[in-house]
A and B are shown apart, each in its own frame.
Chain A
């Protein structure tokens, strides 16, 4: 079965600093999704990546999928307290047309003012 591993598990950064969260898959990724979750709330969709080498940005958050489609990274530039939360990567479970996702265990981000 496919597994997703996120690193680091938790991260504390000073406001204004850049940071990167990684998501590594044991198998080829057909679709990779990044979500943000605040404690006790639902998941907020951030970005979806499907093609090897693809990169997407929204405001100060950039996500990339490597050429081999087994690793994705989420990069936040000039972090702010509003970026704090749990970041989860999710992947389509092969075969790719099931519509089902598995998730990594999450990365907890704290941003110190």
Chain B
């Protein structure tokens, strides 16, 4: 049973066209994370929510935004995707800080 679900698995968008990636969880975890992973690189944290408290990484581009309307759902919005934003985007959840993070299967984003 999938516990962290990301949709879609593959997303193709045009340069500059806004795109939204979604993540849902059935674990009722307090914390949700978004990571960007480029080819052959380690995942890089973009931001995370502790409950409704939003925490942005200092080097996350302004082009990236997130929403968490409720405990179960979290969205990643890319306002004007550039070619450099093509990557795998991973959502993760954890019960709390210093607890294991559980990842979804990711959304692979391609930019035309």
Chain A residues packing against B (C-beta within 8 Å)? 30-31, 33, 35, 40-45, 48, 88, 90, 92, 96-106
Contacts and interface: CB of A to CB of B under 8 A. Distances in A.
A100 B45 contact: yes
Q: Size class of B's contact patch?
A: 20 to 34
Contacts of B104: 42
Interface of B: 4, 6, 31, 40-43, 45, 48, 50, 88, 90, 92, 94, 96-106, 108
Contacts, number: 57
A103 B45 CA distance: 10
Contacts of A45: 100-103
17 contacts: A35-B103, A40-B88, A42-B6, A42-B104, A43-B43, A45-B102, A48-B100, A92-B98, A97-B97, A99-B94, A100-B48, A101-B101, A102-B42, A102-B45, A103-B43, A105-B41, A106-B42
B108 A42 contact: no
Which 5 interchain pairs have the tightest Cβ spacing? A99-B97, A103-B42, A42-B103, A43-B103, A42-B105
A96 B90 contact: no
Contacts of B92: 43
B44 to A, nearest CB: 8
Contacts of B90: 42-43
A44 B103 contact: yes
